[in-house]
A and B are shown apart, each in its own frame.
Chain A
Amino acid sequence: MDWSGAITNGIISALGPVAIAYAVSAIGLNLQFGFTGLLNFGHVAFMMVGAYGTAATVEAGGSLWLGIGVGILAAVVLGLLLGLPTLRLRADYLAITTIAAAETLRLLVRSPVTRSVTGGVFGIQGFAEEFHALNPFGASTGYAIGPLVVSGRRLFVMIVGWTVVLILALIVRRLVKSPWGRLLKAIREDEDATRSLGKNVFVAKLQALALGGALASVGGVLLAIEQQNVSPDSFLPQVTFIIYVVVILGGAGTIWGPMLGAVIFQFFFYFVDSVMRQAQANVSWVGAILDSAGAAQIRFVLVGLGLMALLVFRPQGMLGSRREALVDG
């Protein structure tokens, strides 16, 4: 068993573009779920709107930078549209509505009706030339620190991406330490008490939903730019659940939790993947019960079990405090 290969694989993924997208998205979800207590199960829709807003704008002849603006703005609009009718509902109803809305939106993007704008099942490719043209590292040059080798293209994305993560985390830190941030936490702890103090709970929840959605859209934009590809089937509901795992793993309601969660999640996800691949090929009893495609799914099984175990044994995650951890006390 090649353990060091698995670890190298894990580290490269933990710092890679997907981890960055998860981290940004998780910062947004953390604002909604961790700080305000909103159970938004349609988080992936915000990522999708950001990614498609960018890609479709470029496809229609706009510049990439305009596209990013359009994507983020579209996410804010989606947050308002989704929040206005649903935020008065009880938490479990909100969860069902948001997951249904996200899936409806995905089916719509995927359907032949919107194909001229969204590309239907194909999605849109090759729209981020303007970003990659700025790369000072040389796209195909390899850079290495010890056994960790990345291409110049990836290095550029990583540097830009983690800078964005850091900036957004600092903005959120500033926000949640403000009176507005205290209002959000008060809503999470006791909505009725907050309302009785004369605070406009509805508006604050709406702001948190829209702002968190805008943050998530930045995650979608980053991923789309890196992959030069958007397609409806990369925005399945399971992405939302993975972002929940990331937030809860790092610590819901903390500043740095989402970042830490994303890095650790991606590390284990790819570490387990490498180990399972090798076990399937080399360990006879594993090979006997699983084919190689099946072995690749085991990491998802562990994601699910991990989410359960976290909530049962350590709901505060790695950085959180137990007192603040549970959405319903």
Chain B
Amino acid sequence: MPGTVRIRAFALIALFSGLILQALPAVAQEQAIGGTLSQRAEEGEDPVPVEGVVITVTQDGNEVGSATTDAEGNWTVPVPAPGDYDVALDASTLPPGVTLSDPERSELTDINVRPGQTRRVIFQLGGGGAGGTSTWDRVASLVVVGLKLGAIIALSSVGLSLIFGVTGLVNFSHAELVTLGAFIAYVFHAGGPRWPLVVAALPAVLFGVTFGWGQEKVLWGPLRRRGMGVLTMMVVSIGLGFALRFLILAFFGGLPRAYPDFASQGAVAFLGFSVVPKHVVAIVAALVILGGVGLFLERTLAGTALRAVRDNPDLAESSGIAVDRVVALTWALGAGLAAIGGVFFGVTESVQWSMGFDLLLLMFAAVVLGGLGTAYGAMLGGFVVGISVEMSTLFFPNELKNAVGLVLLIIMLIWRPQGLLGVRERIG
């Protein structure tokens, strides 16, 4: 900010040492990380700038800012203070045919920034010609990215919605079921056994199912039988989510990680669109799984029992349905789906301690949009929210895209609180 005298660096030091800020040396110190992203097709040729690539700067796992490269390939992310930062290039935003020369180096860690410095960071690009991207291409690729995010939200939030449906609990710790799924797959994929991700996802889902079922048996079931109300249980779930989230942070650290096999998959041209293969796989796989959930709910005895309990627990119980078992089944199903959602989220974005909580508010948006308590509502809402969030980057800065999802939620609650597919009832 030219013209304004800033005392940022000094204020931060004073903050920690408890000094008073009198007689300050008025030094304007601004730091930033930036660079120019360009690609040299052949040795000796002029470099071609690469536009529209998202680069994110984080510190200790917290996002400091992000930038999209402009027409000249330039990008700058201002940083608040000198120190070490991690800079990540989102390989899925690279235009078709452009790849990182070294796929392992999509994230550069511990970039030191000195006071007042604009630190230059260079990502080496290889591959064929870059070429410009038209608005139409951008819309098309945002639709794919939006569908991908929608698929993840839909998978993750079916459980949130069904658990609310059968128990009345708005489960804030649902976020951590997503995160745990992603981390357990990470441990088996990148850690010791080095299983392919498809195989590593199995223990993640198994853990999710067991953990969800176990939670109901050990915690929620007993609390319900003690007569604890759903609102108090909601606050309990906040405590549980809080504890799990920071436990993951304590043991895995704050750095975002990527599944090694998918770390920097670039976009490819497909029917004239620029798409990232893993996004398409995630969308298709999610649709298949969601279809399976639909069949389960409609065609099996257990699914019918689940719907009966959701509609009227007392009536279901008096018709001979073992309500407690149905509730435990719902927890297992919902938590397992959340774990799959977490793996997909980890594949397409990154595996990070706060990923679930970042997704949670969008999940709430999806669930409320579709109708709290319904499975199909959560699916529909998930896709609507995912696409709206990603498409909004056409009009608003990247930093505001999640806010768009939340505004959607607020508007929906005010206009039609029962959701698109919900049944109208008094909720005032």
Produce 1/0 per residue, A248-271, CB < 8 A to B.
Answer: 100000000000000000000000
Asked if B229 contacts A328 (CB within 8 A), the reply is yes
Q: Which residue of B lies closest to A98 (CB)?
A: B410
**Given contacts A107-B403, A231-B80, are A126 and B11 in contact (CB under 8 A)?**
yes
The reply to whether the CB of A129 lies closer than 8 angstroms to some CB of chain B is: yes
Residues of A within 8 A of B407 (CB): 104
Query: CB-CB contacts of B358-370 with A at 8 A, as 1s and 0s?
Result: 0001001100100
Which residues of chain A have C-beta atoms less than 8 A from B64's C-beta?
A: 121
For residue A111, give the distance in angstroms from its CB to the closest CB of chain B: 4
CA distance A248 to B231 in the complex (A): 14
Question: Which residues of chain B have C-beta atoms less than 8 A from A153's C-beta?
Answer: 18-20
Q: What residues of B have a CB within 8 angstroms of the CB of A151 in the complex?
A: 18
In the assembled complex, the Cα of A86 lies from the Cα of B253 at a distance in Å of: 38
Interface presence of A288 (CB below 8 A): no
- B230 interface contact, C-beta 8 A: yes
- Contacts A140-B19, A297-B250, A298-B250; A113 near B234 (Cβ below 8 A): no
**What residue of chain B has the Cβ atom nearest to residue A94's Cβ?**
B413
B138 interfacial by beta-carbon distance below 8 Å: no
Please determine whether B399 and A112 come into contact, CB atoms closer than 8 angstroms: yes
B181 within 8 A of A: no
Main secondary structure on A side of the interface with B: helix
Task: Give complex CA distance A151, B19 in Å.
Answer: 8
On whether the beta carbons of B78 and A89 are closer than 8 Å, the reply is: no
Most buried by B among A100, A295, A328: A100
- What distance in Å separates the Cβ of B126 from its nearest Cβ neighbour in chain A? 31
Chain B binding surface SS class: helix
Chain B interface residue count, Cβ-Cβ cutoff 8 angstroms: 66
- In the complex, the 3 A-B pairs of residues with the closest C-beta atoms, listed nearest first: A304-B243, A328-B229, A304-B242
Q: Is the CB of B232 within 8 A of A315?
A: yes
Contacts A111-B400, A303-B242, A312-B223; is A103 near B18 (CB within 8 Å)? no
CB distance from B64 to the nearest CB of A (A): 6
Contacts of B78 in A (CB 8 A): 120-122
Complex Cα spacing A93 to B417, Å: 8
Q: How far is the CA of A228 from the CA of B247 in the complex (A)?
A: 31
**Residues from chain B with Cβ under 8 Å of A122 in the complex:** 8, 78, 80
Given contacts A151-B18, A298-B250, whether A311 and B235 have CB atoms under 8 Å apart is yes
- Chain A residues lying within 8 Å of B6, measured Cβ to Cβ, are 125
Which residue of B21, B231, B232 contacts A132 across the interface (Cβ within 8 Å)? B21
Question: Which residues of A, 146-179, contact B by the 8 Å Cβ criterion?
Answer: 151, 153-154
* Bound complex: CA A291 to CA B251 (Å): 8
A108 interface residue per 8 A CB criterion:
yes
Given the known A-B contacts A90-B428, A306-B239, are A139 and B20 also in contact in the complex, defined by CB atoms under 8 Å? yes
CB within 8 Å for A241 and B238 given contacts A101-B410, A327-B231, A329-B229: yes
A289 to chain B, nearest CB (A): 7
The answer on a CB contact under 8 Å between A93 and B236 is no
Most buried by B among A132, A135, A294: A294
CB of A100 within 8 A of CB of B410, answer: yes
Whose C-beta in chain B lies nearest to the C-beta of A297?
B250
Q: How far in angstroms is the closest Cβ of chain B from A304?
A: 3
B358 to chain A, nearest CB (A): 10
- Is A311 a contact partner of B7 (Cβ separation < 8 A)? no
B21 close to A126 (CB less than 8 A): yes
B301 at the interface (CB under 8 A from A): no
CB of A228 within 8 A of CB of B14, answer: yes
Instruction: A129 to B26: give the CA distance in the assembly, Å.
Output: 14
Residue B116 CB within 8 A of the other chain: no
Q: Contact at A297–B246, with CB atoms within 8 Å?
A: yes
